Amino acid sequence: MLQDQVRVRFAPSPTGPLHIGGVRTALYNYLFARRHGGKVIFRIEDTDSTRFVPGAEAYIIESFKWLGIDFDEGVSFGGDKGPYRQSERKEIYQKYVKMLLDKGCAYYAFDTPEELQKVRDEVKNFQYDASTRGQMRNSLTLPIEEVNRLIESGEQYVVRFKIEPGENVHVNDLIRGDVVINSSILDDKVLYKSADGLPTYHLANIVDDHLMEITHVIRGEEWLSSAPLHVLLYRAFGWESTMPQFAHLPLLLKPDGKGKLSKRDGDRLGFPVFPLEWHDPQSGAVSAGYRENGYFPEAVINFLALLGWNPGTEQELFTMDELIEQFDLSKCSKAGAKFDYLKGTWFNHEYILKKSDEEIAPEFLKILKENSIETTLERAQQVVGMMKNRVNFVKELWPLCKFFFVAPDSYDEKTVKKRWKEDSAATMRRLRDVLAGLEDFSLAHQEEVVMKWIEENGLHTGNVMNAFRLTLVGAGVGPHMFDISAFLGKEETLSRMERAINILG
Ligand code: GLU
């Protein structure tokens, strides 16, 4: 059984734009929490000041706003277990570092970077652990008076976790089962640095998960190797009984070939790896985002939800509510998930179809305005209705639909060659007269009259329609013919026909 109240967290480090893999992690946390009526906490892990990138935190918050992933507590969301930015929790961590020191689970180490480099150069595969700590400059080897003197004189030090060797450490992972590693391969990790008075990731992460009463740690596979250390830290603190359950999500893999998905794959194959466009504050470089590339947030969510999880049915299209209802960590795969970005565009197409024309029209109208087309929302909506099944993105409508708003100024050569026959001009003149006589220019009425006229005159429907299309569109493309002429209206239809007859002869 799950604990009374599920509490999960998404805890990014603000070191740049949020990678799409991080979005998936946040999504799974969100789905899991909502599924179990729990809470999602948004924590900023910014204890490594050297990697801090301005703007990253705001970018991450905006990304989730766009995607419709909402948090219950955390940076910018409030809550009673804050502050939720680790750089604002210095005193809290210092207290817990001291606790480990007092318990003998951690020790001071005074080795300078130069000293450490020297032993690394001398000893192959040097690791600071039970087998080597006895030869190093730390509170386990130095007399207590010397340790106190060094600290009081302001000598810089770190606090290291004292790992006992030779023990099999079990990580009980909801996706991977019992993962066992031997503590002998772990090093005495640095937990705290006096230089900036800040803890490292490991200590801050554990202390905060404990204080924020996190019940489940759902994160990327890259953190699995830290999990045994985290288990040992919980134990050192005496917090085993409230230790969260772990779930390490499968890696996102390259769309082609082997290995982890990287930004370079996106650049190489032309898909974004970030939710929103990112403007690097240092280099000024711009990286593409799903939002700016024209994806619907629902499509991105649906696509990511299925990268590493599937409900075990054929269903592919899910609303957020359906995902929440069906999400199940035990149905996540251990194996990495290929980042099939073409599937992402397929999802976007499905969402264009799913959305009403009314919903899509304003975005298309905006694009029309950008292309100096003055028209109404209603007309934009009509075109959306006729054409949306042909595109993956709303922005792809414009090149396909230009002819609805602008008369052709040239005629596609190949189509002319194939479709404009010797008698086409004469036939079009006659069709023009038929259409000119119509009071009611509705689709249905035009179709009825013209079809009857074709039949009575023994004309070839295909030839007539092909030529007619060429006069209105300038090419052999577009939806149903009378959809086009009805949309254009009588005056515009006749004038386009006139023009084509004159030019094509
Ligand atoms: N700050 C880590 C990150 O950037 C958090 C890892 C974790 O969830 O424990 O992903």
The torsion defined by the Cα of 451, 454, 457 and 463, in degrees rounded to 10, comes to: -170
Q: How far apart are CA 386 and CA 17, in angstroms?
A: 38
Q: How many CB atoms are closer than 10 A to CB 122?
A: 8
Ligand 1 centre from 113 Cα, in Å? 26
What is residue 479's DSSP assignment?
S
Q: How far apart are CA 430 and CA 436, in angstroms?
A: 10
Q: Reduced to 3 states, what is the DSSP secondary structure of residue 378?
A: helix
* Residue of 7, 8, 10, 13 with the most ligand 1 atoms within 8 Å of its CB, for mutation: 13
* Displacement of CA 4 from its chain's centroid (Å): 31
Ligand 1 centre from 220 Cα, in Å? 8
Whether 405 and 368 have beta carbons less than 8 Å apart is answered as: yes
Element (H, E) at 216: strand 216-220
Q: Which CATH topology does 407-504 take? A: Arc Repressor Mutant, subunit A (1.10.10)
Element (H, E) at 265: helix 263-269
Phi–psi pair at 256, nearest 5 degrees? -130, 150
Element (H, E) at 107: strand 106-109
Element (H, E) at 241: none
Cβ of 473 less than 6 Å from ligand 1: no
User: Measured from the CA of 219, which atom of ligand 1 is nearest?
Assistant: 8
Phi–psi pair at 217, nearest 5 degrees? -105, 105
Whether 220 and 248 have beta carbons less than 8 Å apart is answered as: yes
What is the token pair recorded at 59?
A: 């970018």
Rg (CA), the chain: 33
Give the pLDDT means over successive 10-residue stretches in the chain (505 positions): 81 96 98 98 95 95 98 98 97 98 98 97 96 98 98 97 98 97 97 96 98 98 97 98 97 93 94 97 95 98 97 96 97 95 98 98 98 98 98 97 96 96 96 97 97 97 97 96 98 98 94
Ligand 1 centre from 84 Cα, in Å? 14
pLDDT at position 257 is: 79
Ligand 1 centre from 78 Cα, in Å? 20
Following DSSP, what letter does each residue of 155-194 receive, concatenated? ---EEEE-PPSS-EEEEEETTTEEEEEEGGG----EEEET
* Residue of 87, 203, 205, 206 with the most ligand 1 atoms within 8 Å of its CB, for mutation: 205
* Residue of 8, 20, 32, 45 with the most ligand 1 atoms within 8 Å of its CB, for mutation: 45
Q: How far apart are CA 78 and CA 373, in angstroms?
A: 46
Cβ of 36 less than 6 Å from ligand 1: no
The amino acid occupying position 468 is: F
pLDDT at position 61 is: 98
- Please tell me the number of Cα atoms within 13 Å of 482 on its side-chain side: 14
- Left (φ > 0), alpha (ψ -120 to 50) or beta: where does 16 sit? left
CATH 3.90.800.10 fits 89-249, yes or no: yes
The amino acid occupying position 181 is: I
Q: How far apart are CA 163 and CA 189, in angstroms?
A: 8
Q: Could you tell me where the DSSP H helices lie in 18-78?
A: 20-35, 56-67
The candidate with the shortest Cα–Cα distance to 13, out of 164, 264, 204, is: 204
User: Measured from the CA of 10, which atom of ligand 1 is nearest?
Assistant: 8
Q: Reduced to 3 states, what is the DSSP secondary structure of residue 109?
A: strand
Cβ of 11 less than 6 Å from ligand 1: yes
Cβ of 12 less than 6 Å from ligand 1: yes
Element (H, E) at 131: none
Q: Which CATH topology does 263-354 take? A: Glutamyl-tRNA Synthetase; domain 2 (1.10.1160)
Is position 263 annotated as part of the catalytic site?
A: yes
Cβ of 13 less than 6 Å from ligand 1: yes
Q: Where in the chain are the domains?
A: 89-249, 263-354, 407-504
Ligand 1 centre from 473 Cα, in Å? 55
pLDDT at position 1 is: 45
Cis peptide before 479 (omega within 30 of 0): no
Residue count of the chain, please give it: 505
The torsion defined by the Cα of 473, 475, 479 and 481, in degrees rounded to 10, comes to: 60
pTM over 0.95: no
Burial of 33 (0-12, 13-18, 19+ CB in 10 A): buried
Identified catalytic residue from 81, 193, 260, 263:
263
Whether 334 and 176 have beta carbons less than 8 Å apart is answered as: yes
Burial 292-311 (b: 16+ CB within 10 A, else e): ebbbbbbbbbbbbbbbbbbb
Ligand 1 centre from 347 Cα, in Å? 29
User: Measured from the CA of 201, which atom of ligand 1 is nearest?
Assistant: 1
Burial 227-244 (b: 16+ CB within 10 A, else e): bbbbbbbbebbeeeeebb
User: Measured from the CA of 22, which atom of ligand 1 is nearest?
Assistant: 10
CA distances (Å), origin 51, targets 14, 264, 391: 8, 20, 41
